[in-house]
Structure 1
Amino acid sequence: LCIMGHDEAIIFEKTYGVLTPELRQMCTDMVERGVTEAAMESTATYWVPVWNELCESMELKLVNPYFIKQLPGRKSDVKDAQWIAECLLKNLIKGSFVPEPTVQDMRKLNRRIFDLQEDVTYYSNKLDAALHRCGFRLSNYVAKITGKSYRKAVELIASGVTDPNELIKCVHGR
């Protein structure tokens, strides 16, 4: 963290950890020193917890590291915070688009639902393959292996029913 004044003098400089209490302390230190605008590099997902901690307290800019490196001046890990603060102070950087927290939460939920659906498909296919190896070709007689007919037939097989005429009675529709 590097806080600079309008005369480009460093007012405060400190290194913080990545755990929530340390990030909260960083936010508190920034607010106490009157920070209203901050910028950070968008490196992988490491910026997300910092952003989440600061987003309600100040205006934030998420900066592409490639753009920061293209600006003239010194660039090293030790000088990063100071360099970004100086660039922000001189209005040399433009922030990337970051959706509102509600939209971010909706995206996370959507990704989770998509992942769960992939899991359902994966395990349904594994079940069908296992049944094929045991001589039950249920998927030849149903539209979907995730449908009611298929599930009902699997339940009958699990309960010991193996008569094809009984199993075919579970299949609904055409």
Structure 2
Amino acid sequence: MNRNRTVAGLDVHKDSIYLCIMGHDEAIIFEKTYGVLTPELRQMCNDMVDRGVTEAAMESTAVYWVPVGNELCESMELKLVNPYFIKQLPGRKSDVKDAQWIAECLLKNLIKGSFVPEPTVQDMRKLNRRIFDLQEDVTYYSNKLDAALHRCGFRLSNYVAKITGKSYRKA
């Protein structure tokens, strides 16, 4: 175990990020609150790198962690931690001290990160979800079109195999 580690704890919320940087002697080196826009995330990353942070841990709050992870992933080792697990660890904790608590837990190796796929895999998953969503939309609107035609007395779907096929569109 490297005794001279500098770690960071991040408490990520919808509109703010609390950062606590802690040194190997459990002394707080730096604390600050940042916004969530790209320039603020870049400033946070620069502040972390300037202070020698090599590892960071953050709570996995909804999807709010994604832009933070994207900004930091190339500069340091990141751990995405389930908030339920962090809250179960012994110790006094309040909303104000969340980032400090996360940094302290990381420094003491009390937490392990959740699985986060590589950026390429994440991009492929996003693309796959988008394709799936679009296919659902096509099906939804095709069914609505067929229902509208049924209400008008045209029962074309009774005579064709697929309502999205060429024969349906020609009819």
Place the TM-score, normalised by the shorter chain, in its bin.
0.7 to 0.9
Give how far 1:109 is off: 0.8
Report Cα offsets for 1:108-151 as digits up to 9, x if no partner.
Answer: 11111111111101110111111111221110111110111111
CA distance in 2, matches of 1:66, 1:74: 15
For residues 56-110 of structure 1, what are the alpha-carbon distances to aligned partners after superposition, in whole Å with 9 as ceiling and x for unaligned?
1110000011111111112211000100000000100000000111111111111
Q: Structure 2 stretches of 5 or more lacking a match?
A: 1-18
- Larger Cα-atom Rg: 1
Q: Distance in 2 between matches of 1:75 and 1:144?
A: 59
The equivalent of 2:41 in structure 1 is 23
| Whole-angstrom CA distance in 2 between matches of 1:71 and 1:119 | 44
Deviation track 1:3-44 (CA, whole Å, cap 9, x = no partner) reads 111001011111101111101100011111111110000111
Q: Normalising by the residue count of structure 1, what TM-score does the alignment of the two structures yield?
A: 0.85
Structure 1 residue matching 2:34: 3-state secondary structure: coil
Gap regions ≥5 residues in structure 1: 152-173
Corresponding position: 1:92 with 2:110: yes
Q: Provide the rounded CA distance (Å) in 2 between the counterparts of 1:102 and 1:143.
A: 39
Q: CA RMSD in A?
A: 1.4
Secondary structure at 2:79's aligned position in 1? strand
The residue number in structure 2 matching 1:129 is 147
Considering fraction of residues, name the structure with more strand: 2
Number of positions where the alignment pairs a residue of Structure 1 with one of Structure 2 = 152
Cα distance, 1:49 vs structure 2: 1.1
SS at match of 1:15: strand
CA distance in 2, matches of 1:25, 1:87: 24
Cα distance in 2, alignment partners of residues 48 and 76 from structure 1: 24
CA distance in 2, matches of 1:75, 1:51: 24
TM-score (norm 2): 0.86
Distance 1:77 1:52 in 2: 25
Q: Which has the higher contact order (CA 8 A, sep 6+)?
A: 2
Q: Distance in 1 between matches of 2:127 and 2:93?
A: 37
Q: Give the percent of matched residue pairs that are identical in Structure 1 and Structure 2.
A: 97
For residues 21 and 102 of structure 2, the distance between their equivalents in structure 1, rounded to whole angstroms, comes to: 10
- Tell me the SS of whatever aligns to 1:40: strand
Query: Structure 2 CA distance, aligned partners of 1:77 and 1:110?
Result: 37
